Amino acid sequence: MTKDHAIIGFRQDRIGARLICLLNVMRLSRKFGVPGRYLWLSEPEGPYPELADPRDFLAPDFVAAHIDIVARPPGRTGLRNLPAVAPGMNSAGFARSLAEGRRYECDAMSEIIRFMDETEADAAEGLRAAAAELALSPRLTRALARARRILAQAGGGQPAAIHVRRGDILDGDPWSYSSWASKYVPDEFFRAFVARAEGPVIAFSDTPAAVEHLRQGDPRLVPVHELLKAGALSAAERDLLELLLMAGCAEVGAPSHSAFSRAAAMIGHCRIVALPAALQAGPRLAAYDALLDRVIARPDSFFAPGDLAQSVSYAARHAASCGRGGELVDALAGRRDLLERFPFLYRELALAAWSARRRQKARRLAQQGLDAPLMRNRDKPQCRQVLLVTGEQGPELEADFLGMLFTGRAAEGPIMPALAHRLIRGGGPAARALCYAPDLLPSHAQPDPENGKGRLLPLWTLRIDWSEFVRDPGPQRELLLWPDLWRKIAPGAEKLQQIEAALARGESPGLDERDAAWLGFCASVLRLHGRLNRAFALLHWLDAARPAQMLTHKRLADACFAAGNRKAGDRWLGSALALAPDQPMLRLSAALRAAEAQDGARAEAHLQAARAAWPGLGLTETLGRALRRQMPAGAPACAAEPGATPG
């Protein structure tokens, strides 16, 4: 089914995320004149039976034009992830890629996909044009008209709203086993948002009883079900009806990744106030203090045990930043029933204990978390990080750090940036393998909010020159977008502008060591963001000014691979290897590039060389397993005789 379409969309969650993905596919397939299709997962016995058939709430003609209903997730082998690659491509490059036969899958759930030469306003307008084509079923069309009349009779002009996401996050399995800070907002922050509103605030929620608990008699907070007489509408019809009503609000206080409210903003013109980050500093801090006090002193005051558990994720970060991590640990560490039911709490309390310098307590909680039978894989990395930094210090620590840095989400959380600063400043094996220039450290290091005397090194600064190792779509997208291009190059922007102007005039400006470090780093950023001509100009000048530098040659190889010139990329990579044959990360990069070319024997030979260069580096085995999985059937086996070397 997927082979007939240049762009396919697929999500298997709720209606907001599905609509955002569908509208992105509609916009992009129309913009580039290619066939696109959204694959709607129908699972009558699954977690969302109300979404089994989109024709229950969308017009059949619209469904026939844009949607295929499928009974299982589609195969996506060979499809490039559109949200991951679009920020680093321009529209012309994407059009060329489509013309060459490349196909893409879209799984956007809360954002408008746009290319680097598209403005945010233009992309939003294109998506709203697609949204204008949404055709409702006749019954839902009538219900929407009635609901809008009721809201108009309420008066007060365009209302504000909040989206109180609860539902399966609180008690659904397995969703409630994990924390969802991007989808869940504690009551205190909603109350702070309501307090700033001048008129009534409509509360949209999948759990009306949670709104009553939040409301506490406040007349300004109006549950949407009190305004609407939905009658015999199905759950999916009510969801879509409420989404379209939310789209007509002035602003919506919502979780940062609420697909439901994002869909409303994309369809209409409501402004999303992401909670708690978008609150003013004073009310936000007061809400954090109130939440932490309630978690510690009145844990039974929450709507449900899952409400308490999700709130702890917010309270724990605040406790660490204000020196109250020990209080939180003492209040909750003994509640084994709560921790076993919501095992991500072991992670939160282990981090709180670590921030309070209670190393042994942190180790015990982290180990208990890893041993908990309901613990999700996504919540384990920070427990492993706690064990890492509270255990033996030595070469194993540096090797484990590198492995976590490039393994999915394993580096998330507050520990790894602090450890990164310490290891890079120390100049040990990890610093030497990553080739991070010491001259960059003073500009990249940031204060540690949980340790006034400590410093953090943002992990993106270490991944820039090794971005080929960032293989999962989510981390790839983050590396491109956070921070954006201009913030990445800001410390060296003035010098970069001077040098590029001089090169444009045909001059060959002078170069000192610190400038070389910054300009090489900027060239890698430009390459990552698709500014290949600028990257090549800088790198060729750097190579002429300071010849025979391994990292410059590796950067030139990366730029060639990004430009689709594999032959030149292999040549520059071979030159880098000749300059530093025992560089373990360079060997692993060469293994990855060989595997991309379906040369399994050559990839294995580079892996063997990496093992010899750093015998205890677990990243070598992790990458080796991943490369063997990606080799197609019939390709030469990823195997080599012991001691074999790449030619």
DSSP per residue, 16-33: HHHHHHHHHHHHHHHHHT
Give mean pLDDT in consecutive 10-residue pieces for the chain, a chain of 647 residues.
Answer: 83 90 96 96 91 94 96 89 89 92 91 91 93 91 84 72 92 88 95 89 93 90 80 82 90 91 87 95 97 97 96 96 96 96 97 94 96 94 92 82 87 90 94 95 88 84 96 86 92 93 92 91 96 96 96 98 94 98 97 94 96 95 87 53 33
pLDDT at 149: 82
pLDDT at 3: 67
The answer to whether residues 545 and 562 touch, using CB atoms and an 8 Å cutoff, is no
The single-letter DSSP state of residue 632 is P
Alpha carbon separation from 243 to 141, 564, 640, 642 (Å, rounded): 13, 43, 57, 61
The single-letter DSSP state of residue 257 is T
Exposure pattern of 136-160 as b/e (b: 16+ CB <10 Å)? bbeebeebbeebeeebeeeeeeebb
The single-letter DSSP state of residue 52 is S
pLDDT at 646: 34
pLDDT at 148: 80
pLDDT at 174: 83
- Strands 160-164 and 104-106, by their bridges, are unpaired
pLDDT at 16: 86
pLDDT at 396: 86
The answer to whether residues 189 and 290 touch, using CB atoms and an 8 Å cutoff, is no
Q: Please name the amino acid found at residue 228.
A: L
pLDDT at 647: 32
The answer to whether residues 69 and 40 touch, using CB atoms and an 8 Å cutoff, is yes
pLDDT at 635: 54
* Three-class SS of 335-370: CHHHHHHCCHHHHHHHHHHHHCCCHHHHHHHHHHHH
Q: Omega of the bond prior to 417 within 30 degrees of 0, cis?
A: no
Which residues partner with 275 through β-bridges? 255
Q: Residue 274 in 3-state DSSP?
A: strand
Residue in this structure with the two tokens 């009551």, named with its chain if needed = 187
- What torsion do the CA atoms of 558, 563, 564, 565 make, to the nearest 10 degrees? -70
pLDDT at 634: 53
pLDDT at 232: 72
pLDDT at 626: 87
CA end-to-end span of the chain, whole Å?
A: 41
- The tens digit of pLDDT for each residue in 76-96 reads 888 999 998 898 888 999 999
Q: Residue 252 in 3-state DSSP?
A: strand
Note the Cα 371 to chain centre separation in Å.
27
